[in-house]
Amino acid sequence: MGSLRLSNVSKRFGKVVALKNMSLEISDGEYVVVLGPTGAGKTTLLKIIAGLLKQDTGEIYIDGVKVDDYPPEERNVSLFFQNFALFPHMTILENVAFGLKVRGYDSREAENRALEALRLMHLDNRAYSYPRELSGGMQQRVALARTIITGASILLLDEPLSQLDAKIKSELQYELRDFVKNLGLTALHVTNDVEEALALADRIAIINRGEVVQVGTPFEMVEEPKDVFVAGFMTDMNLMEGIVEEVSTNSVIVDIGNIKLRSSRKGSFRRGEMVIVGVKSKDFKVQKADGELVCRIEDSIFSFKYRKLIVCFDNGLRVQVKTDKSGLEKGAYVSLRVDPNDVYLFPCPKGGLRAAIAEITGVS
Amino acid sequence: MPEVKLVDVTKRFGDVHALRGVSLTVKDGEYVCILGPSGCGKSTLLRIIAGLLQPDSGSIYIDGRDVTYKPPEERQVGFVFQNIALFPHMDSWSNVTYGPVVKCMDRDTAYKAVRELMVILNIAKYSGLYPYELSGGIAQMIAIVRALATGAKLLLLDEPLGALDPRVRVNLKYELRRMVKDLNLTAIHVTHNQEEALTVADRIVVMRSGIVEGFDTPENLYWRPKNLFIADFIGKVNIMRGVISRVIGEKVLISLTNGQLVELHAEGFSEGDSVVLAIRPENFEFSSDDVMQDISLTGVVARVRFMGEYYRYDVRTEAGETIIVNYPVGGDVKKLGEKVRIWFNPETVLIYPYPEKGIEKELMVEI
Ligand SMILES: Nc1ncnc2c1ncn2[C@@H]1O[C@H](COP(=O)(O)OP(=O)(O)O)[C@@H](O)[C@H]1O
Ligand SMILES: Nc1ncnc2c1ncn2[C@@H]1O[C@H](COP(=O)(O)OP(=O)(O)O)[C@@H](O)[C@H]1O
Ligand SMILES: [Mg+2]
Ligand SMILES: [Mg+2]
């Protein structure tokens, strides 16, 4: 058993509000990923749940029991530290088996389980090496193996894949999910990497500045982002400032500096209102220049099976377009099309679009 | 806009062969990435180019001049590390002008050049801020300006985006490329991230265990990789084994281990050769029963993940192999346990001789 509930948890460090009224529910056996930029409060959250840090207000329930006064070892959780450390004088196998032995497993049983976890991490062939003989990414996998076999029902994983080479990570993430699922464990995994969140999560909670912005399945987060922050974080959406020009029953026409786009997505907007228009790069279709939505190809960037075009309109608006069409050369004029269903509309963020994008991408 | 040429460079640390005879030429104005798994020798190579490390043998030429035994200051290079190393007690402006000041360069000219750089990179507004007040992305841009402040035209970047959030990385890499091109620099950028390398570089050096496995454009590495290691390292591939059963002009008929026959364009093979076919997950299609393709496999969906722009399916075939299929969002969604038929366009198949040391060894990224 391993359900987890946070109710209005807040934490400050002096003037810094690390967590603000955070509520989150995780069912037994669920894999939840908390996704957010560095500084969003992810580590603080895990430390509070693990009992290593005390929240200022709010409660934490594990399996329905309030655990705020329980010491870490009585919370049925296993924490993977972002800044993990291995015992330098123990072999890899001993490192992984250590916790089990401390908990009273006989050493044969502990080592068998440790080997199984190392196999999952593709490190069984390094069982008798010492930590210093392994790369940073390998050491991280050892620490992860150690965390997932402690016998606790709830895993708290703080960026457990951050040091892995992209190539290794891209497969390991799926295997990690399967392993956790097969053992029937509950996982709360925090990361700043969207691909990792999609690969692993049953549900994703996006947090920013200590607050939950949106919670949903990976599909909901990508297809129904509720604001500019979620859209910009989860997808490669082109985000543009526009003004609602016409409102009819099923659609809205927005004007983006004389470029008109129709949106048929739900939402209530008033004529004359300033909105943020979002279109994913894959949803712009490129065709021969025909007078409508004409733009010039400024750059064409390799994007695996596709190409990413940077196109510029007469009014200076620049957007990214993903296409599998070939023969689109720099300097050429093309027309874009987009299905009104793929045109997202968001309320204007308080500090303006530029500030919101800077918050997501870290560069303005 | 310097050209960099390495001839047969080797370097050992004790019994570790960090570089085993690396030769390559980076052209004037080119943006080159050095891509490879951790420990393959990327940083060693970069440090040797910078003059921070001496090779055991081989030579380094910058603009045709042999600099093998020249100290870093005589190579006119700007070096940026993964761990942003700004002076914490100085504001951005003092950080970026530190080099010119120490070198007693002409102040007016140097300051003017630095200011221009900051304007081009859109970071002039951060001049008065201290490192702790900057986001990671901005701090790294300041570090880059500092590296270029003394007039270097060759920019060496060692995992410059490695310490940043993935979402920040995506944007910053385009900024980096734009800057290098706008300023007519030559850039050599080390990374272990495939996507970063492929989307930012003009050409990519693929390294493994101190050896250059390939040096080519992103398009060629992706569509026409010259060996199985590169094919797999650049972006996942599904691998099928087979034997050439007939050579017909420019085509070969391959009999796959699962019993199926495929006809492909391929040269240089003879009857009886063992081969491997490599097919990228994004090049599989699902077919309905009424359309019969030349080659198709049936199997059961063993795992489904929604990955944003595509679904990733693990399909367990009747022969017991697992094939990964990445299928764009928009079509039918397959369900766990569903029986499916998949096929591929023979044009998208890569074919290689069966590796002597076996497939697993051939693909191994870690030593
Ligand atoms: N011990 C601490 N003292 C002061 N500030 C802290 C401390 N721990 C975290 N913070 C601050 O709280 C915020 C959230 O930090 P953290 O939980 O580490 O975020 P994340 O893990 O998402 O990067 C940050 O602004 C951080 O600087
Ligand atoms: N100063 C050093 N002393 C001993 N071994 C080193 C030193 N620098 C690098 N190595 C070894 O050389 C190999 C290549 O290292 P490096 O160039 O840092 O790889 P990369 O940058 O590709 O991760 C590794 O096996 C590393 O452990
Ligand atoms: Mg953290
Ligand atoms: Mg390195």
**Kind and range of the H or E run holding B218:** helix B218-223
Does residue B367 have a pLDDT over 60? Answer: no
Q: Residues A347, A329: contact at Cβ < 8 Å?
A: no
Q: B120 or A161, which is more confident?
A: A161
Provide the pLDDT for residue B105.
79
Q: How far is the CA of A309 from the centre of ligand 4 (A)?
A: 31
Give the pLDDT mean for B321-348. 93
Does residue B293 have a pLDDT over 70? Answer: no
Give the pLDDT mean for B273-283. 96
Nearest Cα residue to A159 out of A146, A148, A144: A144
Give the pLDDT mean for B300-326. 95
Q: How many CA atoms lie within 13 A of A290 on its CB side?
A: 6
Span A281-314, pLDDT tens digits: 999 999 999 989 999 999 999 999 999 999 999 9
Provide the pLDDT for residue B85.
81
Nearest Cα residue to B233 out of B269, B191, B289, B272: B191
Does residue A90 have a pLDDT over 90? Answer: yes
Between chains, do B172 and A362 touch, taking CB under 8 Å as contact?
yes
Distance CA A43, CA A156 (A): 10
Provide the pLDDT for residue B242.
94
Residue type for position A354: R
Provide the pLDDT for residue B109.
85
Determine the distance from the C-alpha atom of residue B202 to the mean position of all C-alpha atoms in its chain, rounded to a whole number. 11
Confidence of residue B113 (pLDDT cuts 50, 70, 90): confident
Q: What is the CATH number of domain A4-223?
A: 3.40.50.300
B305 interfaces chain A, CB cutoff of 8 Å? yes
Confidence of residue A266 (pLDDT cuts 50, 70, 90): confident
**Kind and range of the H or E run holding B145:** helix B136-148
Distance CA A176, CA A182 (A): 10
- Least confident range of A137-146, B18-27, B214-223: A137-146
B182 interfaces chain A, CB cutoff of 8 Å? no
Give the pLDDT mean for B53-64. 97
Span B65-91, pLDDT tens digits: 999 999 998 999 999 988 878 999 999
Distance CA B14, CA B210 (A): 14
Share of chain B above pLDDT 70, in %: 98
How many angstroms separate the Cα of A1 from the Cα of each of A153, A229, A312?
6, 34, 55
Q: B323 or A120, which is more confident?
A: B323
Pairing type for strands B350-353 and B274-279 reads antiparallel
Write down the mean pLDDT value for chain A.
94
Q: How far is the CA of A44 from the centre of ligand 1 (A)?
A: 6
Q: Residues B33, B70: contact at Cβ < 8 Å?
A: no
Provide the pLDDT for residue B290.
58
Q: Which residues, in sequence order, are bridge partners of residue B26?
A: B4
Q: A20 or B103, which is more confident?
A: A20
> How many CB atoms are located within 10 Å of the residue B239 CB?
19
- Least confident range of A14-18, A166-170, B234-238: A166-170
Enter the ipTM: 0.92
Q: What is the CATH number of domain A237-361?
A: 2.40.50.140
Give the pLDDT mean for A263-289. 94
Confidence of residue B44 (pLDDT cuts 50, 70, 90): very high
Residues of A in contact with B136 (CB under 8 A): 38, 362
B166 interfaces chain A, CB cutoff of 8 Å? yes
Write down the mean pLDDT value for chain B.
92
Provide the pLDDT for residue A289.
94
Q: Which residues, in sequence order, are bridge partners of residue B156?
A: B79, B188
B135 interfaces chain A, CB cutoff of 8 Å? yes
How many angstroms separate the Cα of A190 from the Cα of each of A27, A270, B166, B304?
17, 38, 14, 22
DSSP per-residue letters across A261-320 = EEE-S-----TT-EEEEEE-GGGPEEEE--SSSEEEEEEEEEETTEEEEEEEETTS-EEE
The pTM score is 0.94
Distance CA B175, CA B169 (A): 10
Pairing type for strands B4-13 and B57-62 reads antiparallel
Provide the pLDDT for residue B136.
86
Nearest to B307 among A178, A198, A302 (CB): A198
- Distance (Å) from the C-alpha of residue A304 to the closest C-alpha of chain B? 7
Does residue A270 have a pLDDT over 60? Answer: yes
Considering only CA atoms, which residue is closest to atom 2 of ligand 2? Answer: B13
Does residue B291 have a pLDDT over 90? Answer: no
Give the pLDDT mean for B286-298. 73
Indicate whether residue B367 lines ligand 2 (CB < 6 A): no
Does residue B292 have a pLDDT over 70? Answer: no
Diameter over CA atoms, chain A: 77
Does residue A364 have a pLDDT over 60? Answer: no
**Kind and range of the H or E run holding B140:** helix B136-148
Domain locations in chain A? 4-223, 237-361
Distance CA B212, CA B229 (A): 12
Q: Residues B167, A362: contact at Cβ < 8 Å?
A: yes
Distance CA B75, CA B3 (A): 12
Residue type for position B158: D
